[in-house]
Amino acid sequence: MSSLIDVENLTLQFKTDEGLITAVDDVSFSLKKGEVMGLVGESGSGKSVTAKALMHLNSRNAVYSPESKITLHLEHQEVDVLSLRKPSELQVVRGGAVSMIFQEPMASFAPAITIGKQMAEQLMLHGSMSKAQARQVSVEMLDRVGISDANKRFDQYAFELSGGMRQRAMIAMALSTKPKLLIADEPTTALDVTIQAQVIDLMKSLVDEFQMGIIFITHDLGVVAQTADKVSVMYLGELIEEGPVREVIRTPAHPYTQGLLSALPKLDDIDAPLTPVPGDIPSPLERPPGCVFHTRCSKTIDNRCSKIRPSQHHLDTGHSVSCHIYPEGDRG
């Protein structure tokens, strides 16, 4: 009950000249109303592709497996996202009930159209407002995210705003249709730390106010620790560990999550040597068989990790992990 979105067995491949590339492999998770989920992974881990699948926004060469299912639970209807085809049907997941904040705010606004026009356009489309109403709502929203002189900013172009302000405008735009689910794809990565701290604060207060679900995609574990209720860690298209934020960060179970945390330079012990995760992330064209992480793992078990894909184990710390070092059937 009260689940907002359910992702089941999501498997997604891209048809390319070099063959089929698996971007997401059998990923399942669900998100409740008002819950913030951090989706963590390095480049190529499939986190952005997963997020885009929720809006059915991946490019035409994307192939979803027949078992993949994404269900969005709204007040009056259940939406089977992957079955949507017509643009009019898709509107509900593209700016209607689901909104997205992108990483690079400069690239996400059209440069030759004013910020205000872009904000008003979607309100007129989704909320069937008049032009004057749309302007009023947009200006209120700009004001709400802390943009001073919002009435003037409404008529400006993206290049006239600073980086932090553009990202605020992006957030205002994403929230003005009052979505039930907000997907934020690396929303603070391009920002300076002081501005990042402001944007994180802003997002937290908006979650409290609007009670929506948020999927926060990032590679920064610090940002996750500050914002999320639960965390999912992805590696090469697979979800390898998930659980409540405290447990995953304090007692990481998967060797990859452990490696990520120890590779992070920490401020409270600046003399500690940095321990990188050995090796490089394999190319998606050469996905390792068995456990996808075994090529870089320090805890591999002979003739298991390289052959058999680990299944999910539930630990008594409340989170689950896919790794062979936890004995089969062990539930704590």
Partner 1 sequence: MSGDFLIRSDGLSVGFQIGKGLFNKSILKAVDDVSFEIEKGSFFGLVGESGSGKTTLGRALLKAVPITGGHATYDDGDVKYDLAELNGPSLKDYRKRAQLIFQDPYAALSPRMTVRDIIAEPLEVMGLTKSRAETDERVREIAAKCRLNLEHLRRFPHAFSGGQRQRISIARALVSDPKFVVADESVAALDVSIQADVLNLLKELQRDLGLTFMFISHDLSVVAHTCDHVAVMYLGRLVETAPTRKLFEAPKHPYTKALFSAIPSLDPDDRGTAQKLEGEIPSPTNQPSGCKFHTRCPHVTNICKSEEPKLQHVGSAQGHEVACHRWQELFQAT
| Cβ closest to partner 1, residue 225 vs residue 315 | 225
Task: Say how far apart CA 5 and CA 289 lie, in whole Å.
Answer: 30
Q: Cβ(41)–Cβ(236) under 8 Å?
A: no
Q: Which amino acid is at 84?
A: L
CB of 237 to partner 1, least distance (A): 15
Of 66, 111, 265, 327, which lies in the binding site for partner 1, with binding defined by CB under 8 A? 265
- Using CB under 8 A as the binding rule, whether residue 19 contacts partner 1 is answered as no
Task: Say how far apart CA 232 and CA 139 lie, in whole Å.
Answer: 35
Six-digit token pair at 233? Answer: 């860690």
Interface of this chain with partner 1, residues 199 to 228, rule: CB under 8 A: 200-201, 204, 219-223, 225-226
Task: Say how far apart CA 149 and CA 142 lie, in whole Å.
Answer: 9
Q: How many residues bind partner 1 (CB under 8 A)?
A: 46
Of 129, 281, 301, 325, which lies in the binding site for partner 1, with binding defined by CB under 8 A? 281
| Cβ closest to partner 1, residue 176 vs residue 218 | 218
| Cβ closest to partner 1, residue 137 vs residue 245 | 245
- Using CB under 8 A as the binding rule, whether residue 142 contacts partner 1 is answered as no
| Cβ closest to partner 1, residue 38 vs residue 95 | 38
Q: Cβ(11)–Cβ(65) under 8 Å?
A: yes
| Cβ closest to partner 1, residue 66 vs residue 273 | 273
- Using CB under 8 A as the binding rule, whether residue 194 contacts partner 1 is answered as yes
Q: Which amino acid is at 19?
A: G
CB of 157 to partner 1, least distance (A): 17
Of 43, 77, 128, 298, which lies in the binding site for partner 1, with binding defined by CB under 8 A? 43
| Cβ closest to partner 1, residue 178 vs residue 287 | 287
Task: Say how far apart CA 116 and CA 79 lie, in whole Å.
Answer: 30
Q: Dihedral sign, CA of 187, 34, 45, 15? A: negative
Question: Where does this chain touch partner 1 (CB under 8 A) — which range of 98-106, 122-130, 150-158, 194-202?
Answer: 194-202
Please give the biggest Cα pair distance in the chain: 68
Rg value, the chain, Cα: 21
Of 277, 297, 321, 323, which lies in the binding site for partner 1, with binding defined by CB under 8 A? 277
- Using CB under 8 A as the binding rule, whether residue 232 contacts partner 1 is answered as no
Residue ranges of alpha helices (H) inside the chain are 47-54, 87-90, 105-108, 115-126, 131-144, 150-153, 163-175, 193-210, 221-227, 245-250, 255-263
List of residues 6+ apart from 61 with CB closer than 8 A: 14, 15, 16
Of 67, 155, 160, 192, which lies in the binding site for partner 1, with binding defined by CB under 8 A? 192
- Using CB under 8 A as the binding rule, whether residue 50 contacts partner 1 is answered as no
User: ∠ CA 275-279-285 to the nearest 5 degrees?
Assistant: 145
- Using CB under 8 A as the binding rule, whether residue 160 contacts partner 1 is answered as no
Which residues would be at the binding site for partner 1 (CB under 8 A)?
42-43, 162-165, 192-198, 200-201, 204, 219-223, 225-226, 245-246, 249, 259-261, 263-267, 270, 272-278, 280-281, 283, 296
